[in-house]
Amino acid sequence: MYFKLLLLGTLLTFTACNEHHQSKNLDGEKLLKEKCSSCHNIDLPPKTFEDEKAPPMMAVVFHVRNFTEINVESQRVPKAIEFVKDYALYPSISKAFCDKESLKSYGLMPSQKGLVSEDELEAIAVYMFEHFTQENLEKEQRVLRKYNAMTQGEKIAIKNNCLGCHRVEKDLMGPSFKKIADKYKNDEQKLKTAIRNGGNKMPPYTNLSDKELQDLSKFIYRSLKK
Ligand code: HEC
Ligand code: HEC
């Protein structure tokens, strides 16, 4: 699972440029992880667990954004940020937007006073409302769908950075997969050996299992059909 997330990270850097602003040079993303993720799941899309200690952060953000009372729409996010900053230090049943049932099952959030400074909270809250948006959720879901739709071989090729040096159609640092597939079209064993041994500029891949080499070969051969 950890591996998959790492991969997704790599994929995401291609598709999304995560520009997150920093307030007072504090990194809201990092602080959120440090200060809040022991209870709130911070994945996007969120993961939920049977015995979770708190609602996932995306749910908190969507919730707070929608329930904050405002007169002017442009005040929605600033107001929501104020709410988060206040709630993290002074949580109470009367302030909570959480429904009574959930409050009962989670228990009231313990005050984070002394564990996080006001400046840090500001950075965290700003980041929360920039990051957990409908738009980003859809973007990440598209990436996930794309990843899930890939063949095993393509996933292995991404994981092992083959595509850093090879493309399917055109030569990059290494020859195109099309050329490679053509060269080895009658000898899969030789193709697998070539991958395992590497070359002058290509690193060896002795760590790959035979099944992985087979999946990779299948992926490379597929380029012949295009
Ligand atoms: C020790 C566990 C714990 C930590 C750490 C924690 N929270 Fe919470 N949080 C909870 C629980 C439990 C709830 C749900 C009950 C409630 O609303 O009080 C909650 C609810 C909230 C809510 C209210 C959501 C609503 O719909 O009313 C906000 C806002 C919030 N957390 C922000 C934060 C931020 C920001 C941090 C990090 C600085 C953080 N929390 C750290 C346990 C935690
Ligand atoms: C650092 C760049 C790099 C990476 C990473 C890389 N390759 Fe290569 N690959 C090359 C180069 C360059 C060649 C040409 C031979 C040489 O100079 O090593 C090559 C050659 C090959 C060949 C043999 C082609 C022939 O003509 O015999 C195969 C098969 C191959 N690569 C597959 C892969 C696969 C599959 C991966 C991932 C598991 C991969 N490569 C990762 C650069 C790379």
Instruction: Compute mean pLDDT per 10 residues along the chain, 226 residues long, and list them.
Output: 42 43 78 98 93 94 91 93 97 88 92 97 97 96 93 95 95 97 96 97 97 97 86
- Give the Cα separation of 134 and 62 in Å (integer): 9
Cα 25 to ligand 1 centre (Å): 24
**Which atom of ligand 2 approaches the CA of 216 most closely?**
35
pLDDT at 97: 84
Contact indicator for 26, 123 with CB cutoff of 8 Å: yes
> For the purposes of burial, counting CB atoms within 10 Å of the CB of 201, is it exposed (0-12), middle (13-18) or buried (19 or more)?
exposed
Cα first-last separation, the chain: 32
Nearest CA among 146, 159, 156 for reference residue 6: 159
CATH code of domain 151-225: 1.10.760.10
- Residue 118 confidence (pLDDT): 96
Pocket of ligand 1, beta carbon within 6 A:
35-36, 38-40, 53-55, 60, 63-64, 84, 87-88, 91, 96-98, 103, 106-110, 112, 116, 124
For residues 213 and 220, what is the distance between their CA atoms, to the nearest angstrom? Answer: 10
Q: What is the per-residue pLDDT for 6?
A: 43
Please choose, from the candidates 2, 4, 1, the residue with its C-alpha nearest in 3D space to the C-alpha of residue 155.
Answer: 4
Distance of CA 129 to the CA centre of its chain: 17
Report which secondary-structure segment, H or E, holds 140.
helix 134-149
Best mutation site among 166, 173, 179 for ligand 2, i.e. most ligand atoms within 8 A of its Cβ?
166
User: Given this model, what pLDDT does residue 100 score?
Assistant: 84
Would you say the pTM of this structure is higher than 0.85? no
Spell out the domain ranges in the chain: 2-140, 151-225
Within 8 A by CB and 6+ apart from 135, the residues are none
Q: Give pLDDT, residue 226.
A: 61
Maximum CA extent, the chain: 72
Residue type, 144: L
Residue 209: phi and psi, rounded to 5, are -75, 165
Q: Whose CA is nearest to atom 39 of ligand 1?
A: 36
